[in-house]
Structure 1
Amino acid sequence: MLFTTVRAVRDLGREPLGRVRSTPRLDLHGAFLRRLDFSEFSMRGANLAGADLSNASLQRADLKGADLRGTVLRGTDLTEVANLTVEQLMSAVVDDRTRLPTYIDAASLKDGLRGATDTGAES
């Protein structure tokens, strides 16, 4: 079953960046996707909320508009990812092993997380 799911994800996701996809929105919320290779996938608008992508590779993937709320990205390779925002990362679970794209400053991400933690503590 997992092999079929991964193959379907591969078929939906592999397309040239910038091309409009006519297939339905990719929904992998809550899925266990550790150590898988999603390099160069188009995951525009994908629902990855709560998915576990620990130690996965998303090199050169397109994450524009992807829902990363609660997505586990511990040790995940996000180098050269397109259209990833600090806001998306702040809603995900990252650690010091998570490899970020060069356009995202790890210090600003940590500051944002610290601010979110401080705000939550005062409430």
Structure 2
Amino acid sequence: MKTKLIFTLMLAILAFVACSEDESGEFCENPGATCPDDTAIDASACCTSSSCYWTYKGTDYPCNGTNCNAVTASIITDACVAGVNLKSWDGDLASLQAQMEAVTEKLLAEARASCADCK
């Protein structure tokens, strides 16, 4: 009986925490971007109706308002430069950054659409 009570309390706490996170109005996504050497860039964008940030290597990098160009460029440089000679890469770094920026813009739009009190 004691085990059932503890288990029920744990589930109730977990449900409360999950609901609190859903109500925060924060939308997050990993864009699935990869470096020229096919190394995954393990970074996620998160946005509310008024601001965004990227999480990379366990650290949050806030954007300047909603403009994340400098942050995504820094993440791409850190993730990709170590394993690739970018001068010899035939791909387009701008398209990689555009892919990451598109996720930021999508999340910001979703957050704003879900916010009833947004201006």
- TM class by shorter-chain length? under 0.3
Larger helix fraction of residues: 2
Larger strand fraction of residues: 2
Q: Which has the higher contact order (CA 8 A, sep 6+)?
A: 2
Under a length normalisation based on structure 1, what TM-score does the superposition of the two structures give?
Answer: 0.24
